[in-house]
Amino acid sequence: MKKLILLSIAILVSTFVFAQEEEAAQSGSLIADIMNVDAVTEAMDETTLEADAEYKQTLEEEKANFEELLSKRGEEFKEDVADLIENFNKVLEKGVEKEVMAEKKKVATSVNALSMSLLGSKKKLLMDFNGKMTQNIRKLPKVLVTDKEKELKDMLAEYKEKFDAELGLNQDVIEGFKNKVHLIKAEDAPAKEEDQ
């Protein structure tokens, strides 16, 4: 009887040990099932919600101010270009080919410089906007910081892409201006009109 009890205990213990070893072999660890904890979404408390709402309001205000400044810079740029074109038209009316060519080069160079200056000005405004918003993000609870930083980074990337595209389009217009024949000689004028 003693042997039977010892044999039963031995079988029970070996079964238990083999079961654990088999489970460990399948999962790779004895504690895998214990350590497998489901993720929980952290709920925002009232303070966090208030901070988020305040940040969103600040973002909208700063963005509106930033957009206004961008618009103002764009209007100044257009006025400067209009002044250059007005002067070019005055020289063009005189009809002196050398003066027209010189003025055309001057206008193209000046507009290109203005375009580059506009890009620099807009990027500086963007950096200022980034600085202000980064300061506001730092004040937020840590729960919100990562998402707000990513949101701001994406917004800044969109603006940079827009600014670079605008510069490219401006340069295309400048190139078109340089390639266009603005002064048509009198003997070429009737031939040009007949072609049209």
8 A C-beta contact, residue 112 and residue 153: no
Torsion, CA 85, CA 88, CA 92, CA 94, rounded to 10: 130
What integer is the mean pLDDT of 164-175? Answer: 96
Cα 159 from Cα 6, distance rounded (Å) = 79
Summarize pLDDT for 15-69 with one digit per residue, the tens: 665 665 555 555 566 676 677 776 655 566 788 889 999 999 999 999 999 999 9
In order of their start, the domains of the chain are 50-181 (1.10.132)
Q: Global pTM?
A: 0.70
Looking at residue 75, what is its pLDDT?
97
Nearest to 62 by CA among 125, 133, 145, 154: 133
What integer best gives the mean pLDDT of the chain? 86
Summarize pLDDT for 131-145 with one digit per residue, the tens: 999 999 999 999 999
